[in-house]
């Protein structure tokens, strides 16, 4: 099994001591500044001078669950309804309590509300193409802005660490990461005689029924990347890779189901947090082509919950859900 590691080794011990002393984080690409309590941080929007130890942080997008979980000193956040079902009771309570300074979309940023929150750092967690929907210059007039947005789905590990690092909240982050990696290693051991031997296929929840398409997810995608930490492999690759998630998933027509998954030993598919089947997945499962797939006919099609986890705490729930769903493989 290959658990993704975000740590970077520093060659010389003396250099490590110097950098540690001034707040440098080699893992995030940030650089220490010798001007008081600031440092230079490498973000999507360039190298930004930020407080070495922020006291009042505003977070948006994917930075919201990451920084709540890392116990960052948040004073305002964007709405993040899609992540509510994956939050712990404590994190959900904190999420509901915090002032909302932006909506679900980047364009729904309330600049007056951000200013009223009086932040000393703003962490924007939206994809780079969406950054154009935000008046970054206006935000920069309020506080330093670091944009740390998602790329491929599996990159949530590195991105959530960078977001936590910028907010000065790595201690809680590292604890959650260690707990997750220990759990993933435990499950990899549990399934070592079964899971690595299977050629897997995955149906995601973003197919478009109106267009007659389904979402096939490969290694590194939302529905697959956490199962991979348990030793799974999803065969094949995207025919015409695109940016972001399109590098690890594609959207064939429903008629292509047999060609896509005919070689699969087992199938997995995304379901909602409550276990219900999304419309795009139900469309696939209602098809005779799905029902005639060898893996499906063999009873080896397994639902996966919490596939959009984007923090280590959330991913712990995903691991538990995967374990419950795939448990039948151990009895075959």
Whether the Cβ atoms of residue 85 and residue 60 lie closer than 8 Å to each other: no
In-domain check, residue 56 = yes
- The phi and psi torsions of 72 (rounded to 5 degrees) equal -70, 160
Segment 165-181 mean pLDDT: 97
Alpha carbons 164 and 105: distance in angstroms, whole number: 22
% pLDDT > 90, the chain:
86
- Host domain of residue 126: 13-168
**173 falls within a domain:** no
Residue 332 pLDDT: 65
> Is residue 91 included in any domain, yes or no?
yes
Q: CA distances (Å), 271 to each of 44, 240, 304, 308, in order?
A: 32, 26, 6, 10
Judge if 158 and 191 occupy the same domain: no
What pLDDT is stored for residue 18 in this prediction? 32
Distance from C-alpha of 135 to C-alpha of 227, rounded to nearest angstrom: 38
**264-315 pLDDT per residue, tens:** 999 999 999 999 999 999 999 999 999 999 999 999 999 999 999 999 999 9
User: Do both 304 and 206 map to the same domain?
Assistant: yes
pTM score: 0.87
Residue 179 counted as domain residue: no
Q: Rounded CA gap, 161 and 184, in Å? A: 18
Strand partners, 200: 234, 266
133 and 228 housed in the same domain: no
Q: Are the CB atoms for 115 and 52 separated by under 8 Å?
A: no
Same domain? 150 vs 20 = yes
Residues 194 and 163 in one domain: no
Q: What angle do CA 66, 178, 61 make, to 5 degrees?
A: 10
In this structure, what CATH number is given to the domain that contains residue 138? 3.40.50.1980
User: Is position 177 within any domain?
Assistant: no
Regarding whether 193 and 134 lie in a shared domain, the answer is: no
For 98-137, what is each residue's pLDDT tens digit? 999 999 999 999 999 999 999 999 999 999 888 999 999 9
């Amino acid at each position: 099994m290959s658990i993704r590691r975000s740590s970077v080794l520093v060659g010389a011990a003396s250099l490590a001591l110097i950098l540690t002393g001034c707040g440098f984080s080699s893992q995030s690409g940030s650089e220490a500044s010798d001007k008081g309590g600031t440092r230079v941080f490498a973000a999507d929007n360039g190298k930004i001078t930020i407080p070495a130890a922020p006291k009042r942080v505003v977070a948006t997008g994917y930075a919201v669950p990451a920084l709540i979980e890392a116990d960052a000193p948040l004073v305002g956040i964007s709405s993040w309804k899609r992540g509510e079902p994956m939050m712990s009771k404590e994190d959900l309570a904190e999420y509901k309590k915090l002032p909302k300074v932006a909506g679900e979309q980047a364009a729904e940023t309330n600049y007056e509300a951000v200013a009223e929150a009086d932040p000393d750092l703003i962490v924007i967690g939206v994809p780079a193409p969406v950054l154009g929907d935000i008046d970054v210059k206006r935000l920069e007039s309020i506080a330093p802005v670091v944009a740390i947005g998602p790329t491929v789905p599996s990159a949530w590990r590195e991105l959530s660490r960078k977001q936590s690092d910028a907010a000065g909240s790595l201690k809680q982050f590292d604890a959650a990461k260690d707990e997750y990696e220990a759990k993933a290693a435990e499950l990899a051991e549990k399934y070592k005689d079964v899971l690595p031997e299977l050629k897997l296929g995955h149906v995601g929840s973003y197919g478009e029924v109106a267009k007659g398409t389904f979402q096939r997810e490969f290694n590194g995608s939302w529905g697959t990347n956490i199962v991979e930490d348990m030793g799974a492999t999803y065969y094949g690759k995207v025919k015409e890779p695109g940016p972001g998630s399109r590098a690890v998933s594609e959207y064939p027509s429903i008629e292509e189901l047999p060609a896509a998954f005919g070689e699969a030993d087992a199938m997995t598919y995304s379901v909602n947090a409550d276990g219900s089947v999304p419309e795009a997945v139900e469309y696939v499962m209602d098809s005779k082509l799905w029902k005639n797939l060898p893996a499906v006919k063999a009873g080896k099609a397994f639902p996966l919950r919490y596939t959009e986890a984007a923090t280590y705490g959330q991913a712990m729930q995903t691991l538990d859900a995967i374990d419950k769903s795939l448990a039948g493989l151990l009895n075959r």
